[in-house]
């Protein structure tokens, strides 16, 4: 389907509550284990989502609206979650994600973006010209990308426990293609 701002907002609105329902108070064996060295746990992914909401999506949307293609987006720190997570519990991260997402969506709605606005172009430092609509669609798809990752990382913890059923569970053979 084409990008539709209301559909994007509908998805973005639901992600914090979905992750909260899945992860809050779950044993740390599920939430704090990863897929091996230099990979992320569900806890790390929630920190990454907070960091992206803080530094990526809305700041880049404002850059497009203010500067168009004359100023590239600033860099995104893929390890920014380390700072977000330091000293926090998963419950605190889930609270923080819900709060920052709500604020960002309030800000997004307040922009009253038109179809013409969504077609405005900005400059991604690696991808080149992108539209505001593509940026906002990517915000939603990025949530799904990391929900996909979280479900894979958690399933990985039971790769031995399921015994011979592992061959029937595609998630067990999914490559690490949704972010390390």
With tokens 């569900």, the residue in question is 42
* Cβ closest to a copy of itself, residue 100 vs residue 152: 152
* Nearest distance in Å: CB 62, a copy of itself: 18
**Contact by Cβ (8 Å): 120, 131:** yes
Residue closer to a copy of itself, measured from CB, 90 or 135: 135
User: Whose Cβ is closer to a copy of itself: residue 81's or residue 152's?
Assistant: 152
- Is residue 169 within 8 A of residue 45, CB to CB? The reply is no
Stretch that binds a copy of itself, among 12-20, 49-57, 63-71, 98-106 (CB under 8 A): 12-20
Residue found under tokens 């987006």: 73
* Rounded distance between C-alpha atoms, residue 73 and residue 98, angstroms: 25
3-state secondary structure of 72: strand
- Rounded to 5 degrees, φ, ψ at 179 are 100, 140
**Residue among 7, 32, 99, 109 that touches a copy of itself (CB under 8 A):** 7
Phi, psi of 72 (to 5 degrees): -70, 160
Give the tokens for residue 84.
Answer: 């977000």
In the region spanning residues 138 to 177, those forming contacts with a copy of itself, defined by CB under 8 A, are 138, 140-142, 144-145, 147-149, 151-152, 154-155, 157-158, 160-165, 169-177
The interface with a copy of itself within residues 96-135 (CB under 8 A) comprises 124, 127-128, 130-131, 133-135
Quote the least distance from Cβ 92 to a copy of itself, whole Å: 19
Q: Report yes or no: 90 and 23 within 8 Å, Cβ to Cβ.
A: yes
CA distance 135 to 83: 24
Binding site residues, a copy of itself, CB under 8 A: 1-4, 6-7, 10-11, 14-15, 17-23, 26-27, 29-30, 33, 124, 127-128, 130-131, 133-135, 137-138, 140-142, 144-145, 147-149, 151-152, 154-155, 157-158, 160-165, 169-179
């Amino acid at each position: 389907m084409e990008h539709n701002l209301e559909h994007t907002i509908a998805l973005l609105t639901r992600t914090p509550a979905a992750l909260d329902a899945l992860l809050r108070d779950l044993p740390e064996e599920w939430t704090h284990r990863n897929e091996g060295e230099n990979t992320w746990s569900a806890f790390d992914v929630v920190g990454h989502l907070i960091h992206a909401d803080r530094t990526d999506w809305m700041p880049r949307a404002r850059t497009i609206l203010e500067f168009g293609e004359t100023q590239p987006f600033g860099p995104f720190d893929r390890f920014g979650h380390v700072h977000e997570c330091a000293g926090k519990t998963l419950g605190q991260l889930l609270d923080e994600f819900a709060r920052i997402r709500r604020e960002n969506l309030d800000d997004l709605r307040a922009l009253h973006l038109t179809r013409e606005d969504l077609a405005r172009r900005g400059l991604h430092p690696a991808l080149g010209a992108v539209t505001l609509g593509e940026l906002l669609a990517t915000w939603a798809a990025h949530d799904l990308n990391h929900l996909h990752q979280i479900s894979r990382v958690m399933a990985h913890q039971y790769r031995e426990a399921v015994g011979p059923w592992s061959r029937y569970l595609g998630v067990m053979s999914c490559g690490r293609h949704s972010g390390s």
